[in-house]
Amino acid sequence: MSTTGARVLLHTLLLGAAAIALFPLLWMLSVSFMAGGEASAFPPPLLPGHGTLANYRQLFGQQNIGRYLTNSLWLAAMTTLLSLLFNSLAGYAFAKLRFRGREPILKVLLAALVIPSQVAMLPLFLMMKWLGLVNTYAAVVVPAMAGIFGVFLVRQYALTIPDELLEAARIDGASEARIFVSIVLPALRPILVTLGVFTFLGSWNDFMWPLIVLTDQDLYTLPIALAQLSREHVPDNELMMAGAVLTVLPVLVLFLSLQRYYIRGILMGSVKG
């Protein structure tokens, strides 16, 4: 096969695959601008007859979606900030500071990575009940403040910080806290962005746990609200699509702007550490 021929074939395949990957998302966007009931026709329309913002207006007006949007943002931001703090402290300690029990603890943590989180979910609920945290944001944020994956991600990166740098600071009489703030944190910046994007997306997209612990409608996150809408308003196709757009858009934008960091996280996470 000639190079040109191969190139044409290759790009045909790529464009086909890209169409499959993007089509549902573009269609979602298109239907969200259709009038109620317009999409339930045969053949299914691809573009709105005359675009309308009615669905978005209804979502923000009657369905209170602004509130869920704020809830999701607030929860994801809280979780991200706290988990960055906790994980970076621990990840650095495990990489660079010697202390008794470090190796055994690391081994236990590594082994625990294989336990699916759902195993812990049922007793965790009872625990939240006893702590009086069911139906509060704390129930969502607190368990996510630190994670084994996050600790390892930071640790792996922190291993690359040269020891001499830390030693020099110690000889200069800097406290450990000071070293962490002025040397370690700046050095860790790239991986913290990565972890931040990961945590934010994970928290934004999380479904099962918030579904269980948040009973008050005013506390719902976007995915929970959307799932509830979609179970109750089965015929309101177009409304649902507008809700989906609002749920997906923020994370897509975040991903597009910080893509590099996100992909590094995947690669580090998939290499045995």
Question: 35, 60, 135, 169: which one contacts another protein (CB under 8 A)?
Answer: 135
Q: How many CA atoms are closer than 13 Å to the CA of 39, on its beta-carbon side?
A: 22
Q: Residue type at 16?
A: G
Nearer to another protein, 50 or 62 (CB): 62
CA distance linking residue 74 with residue 137, whole number of Å? 10
Length of the chain in terms of residues written = 273
Among 160, 181, 252, 273, binds another protein (CB under 8 A): 252
Minimum distance, C-beta of residue 258 to another protein, in the bound complex (Å): 10
- Which is closer to another protein, CB of 50 or CB of 119? 119
Site for another protein in 23-42 (CB under 8 A): 24-25, 27-28, 31, 39-42
Question: Residue 53 or residue 218: which is nearer to another protein going by CB?
Answer: 218
Q: Least Å distance between CB 256 and another protein?
A: 7
CA distance linking residue 107 with residue 116, whole number of Å: 17
Picking from 86, 205, 88, the residue whose alpha carbon sits closest to that of residue 140 is 205
Q: Pick the stretch among 11-19, 48-56, 156-164, 185-193 that binds another protein (CB under 8 A).
A: 11-19
246: its two tokens: 């609002």
Provide CB contacts within 8 A for 135, sequence distance 6+: 213, 214, 215, 216, 219
Q: For another protein, which is the closer residue by CB, 16 or 51?
A: 16
CB 134, min distance to another protein, A: 3
Residue 99 contacts another protein per CB under 8 A: yes
Strands (E), 153-263: none
Q: Which stretch binds another protein (CB under 8 A): 53-61, 156-164, 186-194, 255-263?
A: 255-263
Q: At what angle do helices 185-205 and 222-232 cross, to 10 degrees?
A: 10
Q: Which of residues 216-235 bind another protein (CB under 8 A)?
A: 216-219, 222-224, 226-228, 230-232, 234-235
Nearest distance in Å: CB 214, another protein: 9
Is residue 104 within the footprint of another protein (CB under 8 A)?
A: no
In degrees, rounded to 5, the angle at the alpha carbon of residue 214 between the alpha carbons of residues 209 and 216 is 160
The residue among 51 and 235 lying less far from another protein, judged by its C-beta, is: 235
**Residue appearing with tokens 């029990």:** 101
Query: Does 273 engage in binding with another protein (CB under 8 A)?
Result: no
d(CA 109, CA 111): 5
The residue count for binding another protein (CB under 8 A) is 118
